[in-house]
Amino acid sequence: MIVADRKPIEEIIEEVKDHEKILILGCNECVTVCEAGGKKEVGVLASALRMYFLNQGREVKIDEKTLERQCDHEYLEEIRDVMDQYDSVVSLACGVGVQFMAEKYHDCPIYPGVDTCFLGATEKRGLWTERCQACGQCILARTGGICPVSRCAKRILNGPCGGSTNGKCEINKELDCAWQLIIDRLKALGKIDEYEKLSPLKDWSTERAGGPRKVVREDVQE
């Protein structure tokens, strides 16, 4: 899922301080799971902002709503009727949702309430770690299911580099060396001979480098 982290309240206050009718808009999916932008976080942010503005001597209207997702037209349409009540929205969705909101509600400033971080998994509650860089050409079949693009700090395809120490990465003793993990897994799968196969140069054109990407499925389009 997309993992995000709450923006500091001070930063959000700076974004909205000149507005008077603010909608705090949450998202029920990824950001709820990583406890950054769901209904609960919307409630906490809204309460904090209300108290902040009251303390400043200002009565600012701050409403709360959480949509199922903010990356699909039908859910964003649900608030069309109420949008004229607000002069700004703080969206706690990931960067996708914030942008989709901004595209749809052209005339209303939409501010991000979270920092979108990465594609990752829940290792345990309160700990989310990166797993995928969305490179567009998945090589997991060759690397025992462990991705060197997202989990190696140097995205080396023929690793490990000389800095791998005790199975940890040179940049952080707590970070697993992706290539150690790959080697361990290839061994467990009885495939360690594959280690010596040279990985070809990666085609990065399907990654960010190639420009904003899209997926088209004409067979399901109307």
Partner 1 sequence: MKTKTPSKLEKILAAGHLAVTSECGPPRGSDIEVIKEKANLIKDYVDAINITDNQTSVTRMCSLAACIQLKLMGLEPVLQMVTRDRNRIALQSDILGAASFDIHNILCLSGDHQSFGDCPTGQNVHDIDSMQLIQTMRLMRDQAKFLGGDDIKRPPKMFVGAAANPFADPFEIRVPRLAKKIAAGVEFIQTQCIYNMEKFELWLKMAGDRGLLEKVYILAGVTPFKSAGMARYMKNRVPGIEVPDELVKRMADTPKEKQPEEGVKICIEQIQHLKEVEGVHGFHVMAIEWEEMVSEIVEKSGLYPRPSVE
Partner 2 sequence: MQYPPDIKIILVPCTGKIDVLHILHAFEKGADGVYAVGCMEGDCHYNSGNFRARKRVEQAQKILDIIGIGGERAQMYNLSSSEGPRFAQFAVEMEERIRKLGPNPIKLAKKKAA
Residues lying near partner 2 in the complex (CB under 8 A) are found at 8-10, 13, 40, 43-44, 47-52, 54-57, 59
- Determine the interface stretch with partner 1 among 72-80, 97-105, 116-124, 195-203 (rule: CB under 8 A): 195-203
Quote the least distance from Cβ 186 to partner 2, whole Å: 39
* Angle formed at CA 30 by CA 42 and CA 110, multiple of 5 degrees: 50
User: Between 162 and 191, how does the x/- string for binding to partner 1 read (CB under 8 A)?
Assistant: xxxxxx--xx-----x--x--x--------
**Token digits of residue 187:** 């061994």
User: Closest CB to partner 2 among 52 and 179?
Assistant: 52
Quote the least distance from Cβ 210 to partner 1, whole Å: 13
Quote the least distance from Cβ 59 to partner 2, whole Å: 5
Per DSSP, 120 falls in state: E
Quote the least distance from Cβ 62 to partner 2, whole Å: 11
Q: 26 with 102: CB under 8 angstroms?
A: no
* Angle formed at CA 148 by CA 31 and CA 192, multiple of 5 degrees: 130
Entry field: residues in the chain: 222
Q: 159 with 148: CB under 8 angstroms?
A: yes
* CA 49/CA 44 separation, integer angstroms: 9
Residues that bind partner 1 (CB under 8 A): 153-167, 170-171, 177, 180, 183, 195-196, 198-202, 204
